[in-house]
Structure 1
Amino acid sequence: MIKIFQKITLLSALLLTLGFTACDEYLGVIPKGEKIPETLADFEAMIRYEYGNHRVDVNQALILLNDQWVSPSSLSYYPLYEANYFWDESADRVALNNSDETTYYASYSAINAFNLIISNALTSTEASESEQKEVWAQAKVLRAMTYFNLVNYYADTYEAATASEKLSVPLITSADVNAAYTQVTIQEMYDFILTDMEEALPYLPEVAATVLHPNLGTAYAFYARVYLQMNNYDKALEFANKALDESDVLFDWTTYYEANKDLITNPDSYIRTASPMGFDYIENYSYRHGSTYYSSSEKSLTTERAASFEEGDARFLSRWKLRTVGADTYYYGTLQGYFNYGGITTVEVYLIKAECLARSGDVNGAMEVLNAVRKTRILPEEYSDLTAANTAGAMAKIIQTKRNELILTLTPFCDIRRLNQEGTYSITLSKVVDGETLTLSPESHMWTMPFPQGAIDNPGNGSMVQNVEK
């Protein structure tokens, strides 16, 4: 863990020197000059530091899912990309993962900042007690969200029967350099996440200062995500309903498509249109960056992945267009701007609710929720209500819709791991490459990502064990 703390120390020094200046005018943080953080505004500015503390880089999960197209040059240059993209179970990903460290170190740098807020916000100056508790609570939610991402990336998925036996990730609650830590079990990590949320909930506002600051809707939506991952469908449904009571707005992609149709459908144009999925996306409960953290275009999709979207899906049609460049044919990302790949949106909560209703036996209710989402996505000339005769039929439609809606985020990776562990709705990925059929089975060890070698080689004031052999 020495390497973690070296990176965190550098980040902390930069934050203090720059006065926690954010890089985007949207958030409007004013530089304060060189100073030691004392006021609540000093600590709250760390929440606004979006590029350092709100980055959810899960690139290898996206590659494993084949949720993005990877160029032949990248595959040949990065052996870890190639191993995950082609589901090479013989590859030693532990040995190959000696440089792909962003997921790990960016997450722990953010956790360090949240730990610093949690340790000091309640005694900070120039603020009322209620203001102190609000920032303290928001840091707790963000820490819980970051640990959830880590445990669902580097550890096996949650299973009640084994969660107390299997290790997860290092649990660090102090911002002190070289603080002692423990690599806790999966159950201990989930208990910690739920405790953070329970302690934070009473002090969260209904409306927060920015979309980076968690509010009640954020907390309820995240609770729903956590309980779904734990297979606790009653609690997931309870919190999904609470989140939707706070905000249930869906973006109408059919309207967006019609407004940009001439450009979208022009076969000779690859000019990008503005992304609506940035800071002010109406579906946002919270905003966090994905693998990229600056204004950019979306990742391209493979033709196989694109084929899984519904006919007339305006959200898909507005985001990707078939393109051939030399020997490569793929679906080119046609939006430019910011994308909420790491936060939580209303559509995810709708689909959590749909799954929970289906599992409870309310198939009609589940399909009603699913169709409420689809009406804002599927072009009117292609739309018809989906129906299901039973839970299995409803689940198949909900699972596929959710995979498409949350593409390029960590959620599909979490969902497939969860479904595979359960066994009832397991998913085997397959594709044909050069005439050979490749598959990724539900039992594959590749569903757990290896820790970076640097973290294992430099454990610092604790000890770490790899969670996967290769």
Structure 2
Amino acid sequence: MKTNRLFYITIGMLLIFCSCSKENDFLDQKPDQSLVLPSSLSDYETLLNSTTVFNRFVDPAMGSASADEYYLPEGTFNSFSTSSYRNLYTWQKDIYVGESTMDGEWNKPYLQVYYCNIILEGIQTLAIPASEKETFNRIKGSALFFRAWAFYNLVQTFAAPYNKESATTDPGIPIKLSSDINARPPRSTVAETYKQIITDLEIALELLPVINRFKTQPSVIATLGFLSRIHLAMRNYEEAMNYSNKFLVKFSMLSDFNQFASNRTLSLHTTFLDEDVFHTTISTSSPSSRSNARIDPVFYKSYNEKDLRRTLFFRSSGGEILYKGSYDQYGYPYSGIATDEIMLNRAECYARDGKLELAFKDLNSLLIKRWAVGTFVPLSAATRDQALRLILSERKKELLFRGTRWNDLRRLNQEDEFKTTLSRTISGQTYTLPPNDPRYIFLIPLSEVQQTNISQNLR
């Protein structure tokens, strides 16, 4: 019997990315499509603990590669062996031109979904003694969190930004809620996709521990932060504030940048940061990787000389400025949940609601931890518009290369006062990306469209 293409992708990724041999035993490739499945809570927990599936280099990079956080020197641009990277950087309508270089942007999140569905289905078949109920709840809640994480990354990459006026008709992504590799659900709407994401997370909140001793695993605090991020992307600012409040009541720790050494070349620190509550990293196969990306000198100079981010985030090489300020101890692009993002979320929501004193309390509480001791002068603004612009400016400076900028552009372009036209020049030719352009939605990999007959995005 001919094996389904998704099955081959899944097994292939498992063999490539999973270092744990026990996981490979569970998911063994067989011509008749049968699978050897885990049979205990411990087995399912082993699947959840695969950082190569859920945490390391798995979040989509196409948004970061297309955002306005960096530029490429012409020599670097021309040196790419794949035209997909050049097309991505210059916002071409057809990124792939027949190449499969970036299929992982779709396949890696759906591998996470596949894992989660195996876990969610499998644990329901087990007889769980009372002594293991807490473990059962944590495993179920974690699988729901990771599935929601994957769906969110997919909808932010391959569907239109959330707009309440069109979300019920805009094409979303296939919502796969079964481990059946033969099931090929059609694309849902954007509204249906976000509803599923939020439903998974609301259930997870009731099941997860408040804090997880492993930062690569979900918790209540991480889930609250994730819901804050999601509602901000939906421009549902009241709910974004609500979840930011719940997060910060339970966890408000910030890292003091005065404690970090400025001579590091890849990351802020040698271990997880205190304010990091859920740790993931973006795929490193991208034009925006740290070895390729250069920082605009004008943007660099927007950091005050007393702002420690100026030396902790950047280094100079050959007369060019490179980024080095990752929250990941190995220097890979961090995309997880941390306190600084949630404080900025709440500050923005306060400003939008006209609560400027509270907005600047959050912003100044963050920035005092970023400036040299005794040098920071608290910021303020006279009007809502001035406050919002200042907070959004600091948001871009703080969350650099965190995977949030592209999503911010998508949502803010829906507001007249914050619309932004992006521009890049290579070899004397200027490329632009206007606000709300169809190219803010990436093409689904061609092989997926051919195999499943789902509708392709129009760019």
TM-score (norm 1): 0.84
1:6-54 CA distances to partner (integer Å, 9 max, x unpaired)? Answer: 1113345786981139xxxxxxxxxxxx974111111111221011222
1:184-243 CA distances to partner (integer Å, 9 max, x unpaired)? Answer: 010010111111112222111112241122111011111111111111111111110111
Cα distance in 2 for residues equivalent to 1:393 and 1:97: 45
Cα distance in 2 for residues equivalent to 1:377 and 1:458: 49
Q: For the structure 1 residues 210 and 92, does the alpha-carbon distance in structure 2 shift closer, same or farther, using more than 3 Å as the test?
A: same
Once the 2 structures are TM-superposed, how far is the Cα of residue 347 of structure 1 from its aligned partner?
0.6
Cα distance in 1 for residues equivalent to 2:118 and 2:71: 39
Q: Secondary structure at the match of 1:331?
A: strand
**Residue 319, structure 1, aligned to residue 313, structure 2:** yes
Query: Which residue number corresponds to residue 39 of structure 1?
Result: 40
Q: For the structure 1 residues 131 and 395, does the alpha-carbon distance in structure 2 shift closer, same or farther, using more than 3 Å as the test?
A: same
Deviates more, 1:402-411 or 1:337-346: 337-346
Q: For the structure 1 residues 161 and 172, does the alpha-carbon distance in structure 2 shift closer, same or farther, using more than 3 Å as the test?
A: same
1:312-355 CA distances to partner (integer Å, 9 max, x unpaired)? Answer: 33124113212117xxx342537761556221111110001001
Query: Which residue number corresponds to residue 281 of structure 1?
Result: 273
Cα distance in 1 for residues equivalent to 2:194 and 2:110: 17
Once the 2 structures are TM-superposed, how far is the Cα of residue 406 of structure 1 from its aligned partner?
1.8
Query: Which residue number corresponds to residue 56 of structure 1?
Result: 58
Q: For the structure 1 residues 429 and 17, does the alpha-carbon distance in structure 2 shift closer, same or farther, using more than 3 Å as the test?
A: closer
Once the 2 structures are TM-superposed, how far is the Cα of residue 166 of structure 1 from its aligned partner?
1.0
Q: For the structure 1 residues 161 and 97, does the alpha-carbon distance in structure 2 shift closer, same or farther, using more than 3 Å as the test?
A: farther
Q: Which runs of 5+ in 2 are unaligned?
A: 25-34
Amino acid at match of 2:359: A
Query: Which residue number corresponds to residue 238 of structure 1?
Result: 242
Within 5 Å, give how 1:41-440 maps onto structure 2: 41-54=42-55, 55-70=57-72, 72-76=74-78, 77=80, 78-88=82-92, 91-93=93-95, 95=97, 98-124=100-126, 128-256=132-260, 260-261=261-262, 264=263, 272=265, 275-276=268-269, 278=271, 280-292=272-284, 300-304=293-297, 306-307=299-300, 309-312=302-305, 313-324=307-318, 329-331=320-322, 333=324, 337-339=330-332, 341-380=334-373, 383-430=376-423, 438-440=431-433
Q: For the structure 1 residues 130 and 381, does the alpha-carbon distance in structure 2 shift closer, same or farther, using more than 3 Å as the test?
A: closer
Q: For the structure 1 residues 341 and 125, does the alpha-carbon distance in structure 2 shift closer, same or farther, using more than 3 Å as the test?
A: farther
Amino acid at match of 1:101: D
Q: For the structure 1 residues 308 and 230, does the alpha-carbon distance in structure 2 shift closer, same or farther, using more than 3 Å as the test?
A: farther
Q: For the structure 1 residues 275 and 96, does the alpha-carbon distance in structure 2 shift closer, same or farther, using more than 3 Å as the test?
A: farther
Q: For the structure 1 residues 334 and 351, does the alpha-carbon distance in structure 2 shift closer, same or farther, using more than 3 Å as the test?
A: closer
Amino acid at match of 1:464: I
Q: Which runs of 5+ in 1 are unaligned?
A: 22-33, 265-270
Give the alignment's Cα RMSD to 1 decimal.
2.9
Contact in 2 for aligned 1:19/1:35 (Cα 8 Å)? no
Query: Which residue number corresponds to residue 27 of structure 2?
Result: none
Contact in 2 for aligned 1:53/1:109 (Cα 8 Å)? no
Contact in 2 for aligned 1:157/1:421 (Cα 8 Å)? no
Query: Which residue number corresponds to residue 9 of structure 1?
Result: 11
1:230-288 CA distances to partner (integer Å, 9 max, x unpaired)? Answer: 111111111101111121111111331xxx34xx3xxxxxx73664275x211112111
Cα distance in 2 for residues equivalent to 1:149 and 1:182: 18
Q: Secondary structure at the match of 1:156?
A: coil
The structure with higher relative contact order (CA 8 Å, sep 6+) is 1
Once the 2 structures are TM-superposed, how far is the Cα of residue 359 of structure 1 from its aligned partner?
0.7
Once the 2 structures are TM-superposed, how far is the Cα of residue 62 of structure 1 from its aligned partner?
1.8
Task: Provide the identity percentage.
Answer: 24
